[in-house]
Structure 1
Amino acid sequence: MNKLVLTALSVALLSGCASNNNTPKPFENALYDGRPVETLSSDAAPMTETEAIKRGDYALKNNNTDLALYEYLRSLDFPDTQYRDKTLYTVGRIHQSRGNRDLAEQAYLLALEANPNNIQVLEQLGSNYTKQGDTKQGESYFLRAINADQLRLASRNKLDTSNVSVEQLDKLSSDDKSPALAYMGLGILYDVKANHDVAKGFYRHALQIEPKSSKALMNMGYSYYMSGEYAPAKRYTQAALEQDSNNQRAQNNLALIYLAEGDAQRALNVFMRFMDAPEALNNVGYFLMLQGKPEDAIPFLQQAIDKKPSYYKVANENLERALLEVRANSSDSTRVKVQ
């Protein structure tokens, strides 16, 4: 009798455990910020990581980002996940598209815990930190992305993150899957440091990866402009405009190159392609002042005022500044003669 009671009790306990295991645990994930999950889907829970990811992909394709987040995050609950870093990268991109910067960063950093050499994640963090003004961290992640890419390509070469040189850059490998944004981002950062030779080395790789990138062509042109090499600066800038004729930054850069060469009329013609005459005239005058030529700037600023006297306050201010600079230069030269 006692044996029967014990057996019945054991069966009851086992069935109780089974029913507890079958009770789905409530969905909880700090990376989810959508509407209540109860409203998302009535489908049975996914059986595998891959199934959950496919559901997320389908939801994302249909612009249902709440459901996509839910499914992607559910895929992370399976043991021995194979695609954890890639899934977290996608989660980060969804948050970033929604303007949720903190959640995006959390997802990217978790992705790096799963795979420290995820090139896309490293490149994205480099871009994000740079845009936020944290150029030191941005540079670090960009460099890590490029070194991770060298591992992917089975290259023995990598960048010395403390001292990048043109020689190191020339030895790197790249293909059409390499992180063009990381190369271009580093080129811009090195141009800001006035290390234009290294900057050009980064842009060369960016252009090997994306030969028709108007941004890479424009930045290469600007780097040559900054180092005073106007012929190649013009060539790359014009190539950028061939790819994207509406690229106003490239048009602006081409005008600056013409001004640096002393061809103010051509610069004015370029500016007038995308702005009205008073603004174009003011721009020529303003940039001539920046180049230390206030006396050349004055006629252009006066024309800008003549064309729109009641409105063009900026041109008046620039003209006043140009006249002051001319007077100051005249006083300095008189002082030198007297001495």
Structure 2
Amino acid sequence: MMRIQPVCITVTLMIGLLTGCANQHKRPSMMAQLYEGRPVSRLNVTGIPQTEQEAIVRGDVARREHNDDLALFEYIRALAFQSGQHRDKTLYKIGQIHQRHQREVLAEKAYQMALQENPHNIDVLQQLGMNYSKKGAFDVGKRFFIQAIDADQLRLHHQMRVPQAISHIELINALELDEHSPLDAYMGLGIVYDMSSQHEIAQALYKKALHIQPESSKLLLNIGYSYYMSGDYPEAKRATLAALRLDPDNSRTQNNLALIYLGDGKIQRALNVFIQQMQMENYQALSRVGYFLMIQGHADQAIPYLQQAIDENPSDDQTVHDNLKRALAESQALVRQ
């Protein structure tokens, strides 16, 4: 631990609390590295915390009161206790605040610093997996998701290790979990495997995650879409209807149900979903059906629905007209083949 010479202590509160002396010129303070918000002089700072836990509690209180700048300040003060026992958790909280305010660089820095303190911090690993996956860096996201699940096995004192490439459902079934296991890591990893067309692995991950949160409409939605992509329409419908029972007004789930009906050749049922459940006008439902049929590779079937949508509402936006032109071109291309 660095020994601070008394002659280097300044008279101001901020420097006295948050900076050192000569060595600070070599390495920026935690405040300089991680704080971004209102000027500290405008924060309602009261006294100096005597322990790491006191500073964390102050930060937690400020966060509950939606005072993120003060929370950030207090969490960074907690990091000043070099022998602190919760540094990784505090850095995760700092990262969460920055992420909520869309300060991605600072959030990433806080998360990476947290992993330096504890490479097995499940929350941090899971969050990084989600962040990289949302940016399209699925290989990186996959690694973090697997590390999060692997760290959870360590937490549960399970000897099994998770490889970087899961090729057997039996491995997933053998994983230990409880109500504190990383739900988003299992779900995120499932999405990554779905995107690489490894649907059976994805479905096993989703179903494993249901043991963590059995009433998750989001998980059931992903299960349904995975079965849809693999062409198993009965299972896709079963999971999607279960998701709708939990969240009846979810437009994405309603949309997926219509997609499943279309994939299964039940066009009228898809129209009914759009009109009755999603409260669309008839021409809007026709347009949506035509578009989905086209992207499913049925351009010839799409044409009459798109044409009828235009006939019912000629002033509709240009998108429907463009979709009809595309469907006609694709249909003609198929004829010429």
For the residues of structure 2 that align with 1:153 and 1:319, how far apart are their CA atoms?
A: 56
Out of 286, 293, 297, the position equivalent to 1:288 is 293
Return the offset for 1:61: 1.4
Instruction: Select between 286-295 and 119-128 the one with higher mean Cα deviation.
Output: 286-295
Unaligned runs of 5+ in 2: 19-28
Distance 1:192 1:18 in 2: 59
Rg larger in structure: 1
Question: How is 1:322-333 mapped onto 2 (pairs within 5 angstroms)?
Answer: 322-332=327-337
2:220 corresponds to which residue?
217
SS class of match (2:211)? helix
- Once the two structures are superposed, residues 203-243 of structure 1 have per-residue CA deviations (whole angstroms, 9 ceiling, x without a partner) of 01221111111111001001111111111100000111111
Offset, 1:191: 0.6
Residues 133-154 of structure 1: per-residue CA shift (max 9 Å, x gap): 2111111111100000001111
Aligned to 1:70: 73
Deviations 1:279-316 (A, max 9, x none): 21011112222333333222211210111112243222
Q: Say what the alpha-carbon RMSD is for the aligned residues.
A: 1.9
1:141-152 matches, cutoff 5 A: 141-152=144-155
In structure 2, the partner of 1:58 is: 61
Three-state SS of the structure 1 residue aligned to 2:99 is helix
Relative to structure 2, which stretch is displaced further, 306-315 or 175-184? Answer: 306-315
What's the counterpart of residue 245 of structure 2? 242
The alpha carbon displacement at 1:129 in A equals: 0.9
Contact 2:193–2:199 under 8 Å retained in 1 = yes
Aligned to 1:11: none
SS in 2 for 1:246: coil
1:17-48 deviations in Å (ceiling 9; x for gaps): 87876956253421011223233235221111
Distance between the aligned counterparts of 2:255 and 2:206, measured in 1?
A: 20
Q: How many residues align?
A: 316
TM-score by length of 2: 0.88
Which of 313, 319, 323 in structure 1 is aligned with 2:318?
Answer: 313
Check whether the contact 2:111–2:124 (CA below 8 A) recurs between aligned residues. yes
Deviates more, 1:27-36 or 1:170-179: 27-36
- Residue 114 (structure 2) pairs with residue 111 (structure 1): yes
TM value normalised by structure 1: 0.88
Q: How does 1:1-339 map to 2 (within 5 A)?
A: 25=16, 27=18, 28=29, 29=31, 30-272=33-275, 273-274=277-278, 275-332=280-337
The question of whether the paired residues in 2 share the 8 Å contact of 1:278 and 1:312 is answered with: no
1:156-181 superposed Cα distances (whole Å, 9 cap, x missing partner): 22221134421211110111111110
What is the one-letter code of the residue matched to 2:308?
Q
Q: Could you say which residue in structure 2 is the equivalent of 1:4?
A: none
Letter in 2 for 1:180: L
Matched AA of 1:296: Q
Distance 1:210 1:173 in 2: 14
Q: Distance in 1 between matches of 2:169 and 2:149?
A: 15
- Which residue identity does 1:325 align to in structure 2? E
Give the percent of matched residue pairs that are identical in Structure 1 and Structure 2: 50
CA contact (8 A) 2:45 2:70 kept: no
Which amino acid letter does the alignment assign opposite residue 172 of structure 1? L
Which digits, 9 at most, give the CA deviation of each residue in 1:233-282, with x for residues without a partner? Answer: 00000111111112222111111111111110000111223233222101
CA deviation vs aligned residue, 1:70-89 (integer Å, no higher than 9, x gap) = 11111111131011011110
Secondary structure in 2 matching 1:52: helix
Q: Distance in 1 between matches of 2:326 and 2:45?
A: 69
